[in-house]
Chain A
Amino acid sequence: MRGVWRKLAKLLGLRSADLLVAAVVLTLALAAAAGPAVARLVAGPGQVTQFVVQTATGTQSLPAGSDGTFSFLGPLGETMVEVRGGQARIASSPCAEPSWHGGWLNRPGQRSVCLPNLVSVLAEGRGAGLGGTGGRDLDGETR
């Protein structure tokens, strides 16, 4: 290894110490350039870790891996929340249109709400912006 290092230094016309300094600085430069991309890669592309269900009486967390259908009671009756394959949705509820995001929740910050029955399901996870809406560094959603 040391031999290779010396040969490389000689090839470039540098002293070993100079080459070391150059290598350190070059590494720092590459890290600075690629840092954000690497950090986002590590954080994952808006991966959902859990679903937080809020009702008039309290809050319950459902891990993203807890496949099943869960019942929550509101003033109008029963709201069923289905968790399947890392996604969740309000499967049935006594509220009429609209409930936000009627389909599957699969990005951090997405929320489905049955307002009349006072049930909210929020997808939580890495990659959400400050306002909670995630996947694309979003801070919120106007609707």
Chain B
Amino acid sequence: MALAAAALALVLAAWATGWVARAWDWGVAAYERRFLTQTRSEFLMGTYVTITAVGPGAGPAADAAMARMQEVDGRLNPSDPGSDIGRLALGAGTDVPVSSDTIAVLELADRAYRASGGAFDLTVGPLVTLWGFAPVDPTAVGGPADQQRTSPPTDEEIAAARAELGWDQVSWDGAAMTARLARPGMRLSTGGLGKGYAIDAAAEVLRQKGIRRAVIDAGGELLMVGSKAGGRPWRIAVKHPRQDGYLGVLNVPPDTAVATSGDYQRYFVFEGRRYHHIIDPATGRPAERSIASTVVAGSAAWADALSTAVFVLGPERGVALAESLPDVGALVVAPDGTVSESGRLTAIFEKETGAP
């Protein structure tokens, strides 16, 4: 009997150390993947969107969530003259009727502008276009227009485009559902916020449909809905900005978004120098203090906007911005490869062996 008692104690010890629980979690996750998981993918918002939902009714819920993202895209797409953003540019100087989505985006943009001291500025559109990085619609008849530059614009061109900026000249009325750009020539660039907002909107649809576990991935910008099987953290790899590997892995809590901005996403090289798509509103040129930034936040829209702001601000001010905001973590890679992290991000980041 003594041996039996010892063996029983061993079972209890195994349980206590979590092995049995981990085996159970692994089994539940495998079952969910095999029988309860539905995935939907679309080319949307200038990127590739995948919605993976778990649970009864996951298929119809993912379809509805994808439809919601398409609806948001139809309202925020700056290259579509019929979208809210397109009509605002065409109707500059007048009050333009817009959707509640656009009002919500303007309010989020205002929050990000103020928090970042102007490093995030939705009116940067004319500069994005000047540098050849305005979003194109790849589904347009005849294929996407070729807007990519091969050389940087002149100082005069940059100064002229910068004169069209001004967040203080954007106004909106949430009650009347109208918005206005004060001057013709102004243009909003929703690239730094629109995808995140659409992800949040899709997540809301999934929750309304009863989905308690899902991952929404729009070109590497992710929102994890609910918790992972067994309550373990979601594991999200962070791409290395200069190598085909990872900087490390983030152990992300439930209902958290992760967004990354990098100078490798869209760029051209002229005379050995890289010119990328994240424009610093203060200089009118591609931001130079970072080569990548990753932000973890409670909503995808907030993570999206802040990853742009942190990139523009650079390691020191970017990390300080993240530290000043509740529930936000940031990781910034400087041009020399040095990685800076805010405290909240350090706590959840497993650095890859050999990464800087």
Contact = CB atoms under 8 A, between A and B. Distances in A.
Interface of A: 12, 14, 18-19, 21-22, 25-26, 28-29, 32-33, 35-36, 39-40, 43, 54, 56, 75-76, 96-98, 100-103, 111, 113, 115-118, 120, 122, 128-133, 136-143
A123 to B, nearest CB: 13
A139 B236 contact: yes
A136 B249 contact: yes
Contacts, number: 160
A121 to B, nearest CB: 11
Interface in B298-323: none
Most buried by B among A56, A116, A130: A130
Contact of A25 (B11, B37, B235): B11
Given A32-B14, A36-B23, A140 B215 contact: yes
22 contacts: A22-B3, A22-B6, A25-B10, A29-B11, A35-B19, A35-B20, A36-B19, A75-B138, A75-B142, A115-B43, A120-B41, A130-B52, A130-B228, A130-B234, A131-B215, A138-B249, A140-B222, A140-B258, A141-B246, A142-B250, A143-B220, A143-B260
A131 B244 CA distance: 19
B8 A25 contact: yes
B65 to A, nearest CB: 15
A118 B46 contact: no
Given A75-B143, A118-B139, A142 B239 contact: yes
Given A29-B11, A115-B43, A115-B138, A130 B54 contact: yes
Contacts of A116: 136, 138, 143-144
A69 to B, nearest CB: 22
Given A18-B1, A142-B236, A142-B237, A132 B143 contact: no
Contacts of B26: 35-36, 39-40
